[in-house]
Amino acid sequence: MPRARSHNQDTWQTAVTSNSGGGCLSFYVLPPFAALLIACLLAVLALNTPIQTTALQAKNSTTSSRISPIFTKEVQRWAEDIVRWANASSLDPNLAAVVMQIESCGDPRALSSAGAAGLFQVMPFHFRFGENPYNPDTNALRGMNYLSRSLAAASGVPRLALAGYNGGIGVVARGEWTWSAQTRRYVQYGAPIYEDARSGATQSAMLDEWYRKYGAGLCRQAARRLGLP
């Protein structure tokens, strides 16, 4: 659940010229070394591409029009809404679905002992005066806002964003050994579930394990509330 709660990009600089004209982009020696030039450009592209896709993978997947089939039927009940909510916050719908799966299993009336409420188990102080925390759109607005902030603080790393969502954004900058047992468990399951969903898997062994150990009762309650068999 969200607690009390800048994206940095690596830059690469490559020396391309020298006083003797022997660099990869030297104007005077370019024709004899056209093949070398092409090789240099390919090398630069190869260095840059993984960094961009790794740091921004949760943002670059926002064009998804559906969520993965690995999520339980209770979460699938909200599939179109999850896509709408996530896209409105420039988030990957599958990341939003992971949060809903672990937080409430799609139960819009879920309430924790700490007072976290609704689909995304948002704490009361995140709502404005007069807002209904159990309204799905309102709950999603506040939950997605916090998830987006957590992802930004985590420099686009979904695993750290999940930790921030559960334990408070402040944990993102701290060593994992300082995280609570709950936050470590949240990430232990949430990160591989997200990777399975993002990669196009049709089932998730980690989601199945989470369900057996922690989620069965939660999902049965959600199914009753949603009128699902």
Per-residue model confidence (pLDDT) at position 1: 66
Mean pLDDT split into 10-residue runs, the chain, 229 residues: 43 29 33 45 42 42 78 98 98 98 98 96 96 98 98 98 98 96 98 98 98 98 97
SS (H, E, C) the chain: CCCCCCCCCCCCCCCCCCCCCCCCCCCCCCHHHHHHHHHHHHHHHHHHHHHHHHHCHHHHCCCCCCCCCCCCHHHHCCHHHHHHHHHHCCCCHHHHHHHHHHHCCCCCCCECCCCCECCCCECHHHCCCCCCCCCHHHHHHHHHHHHHHHHHHCCCCHHHHHHHHHHCHHHHHCCHHHCCHHHHHHHHHHHHHHHHHHHCCCCCHHHHHHHHHHHHHHHHHHHHHHCCC
Domains of the chain are 6-55 (no CATH), 57-226 (1.10.530.10)
pTM for this prediction:
0.75
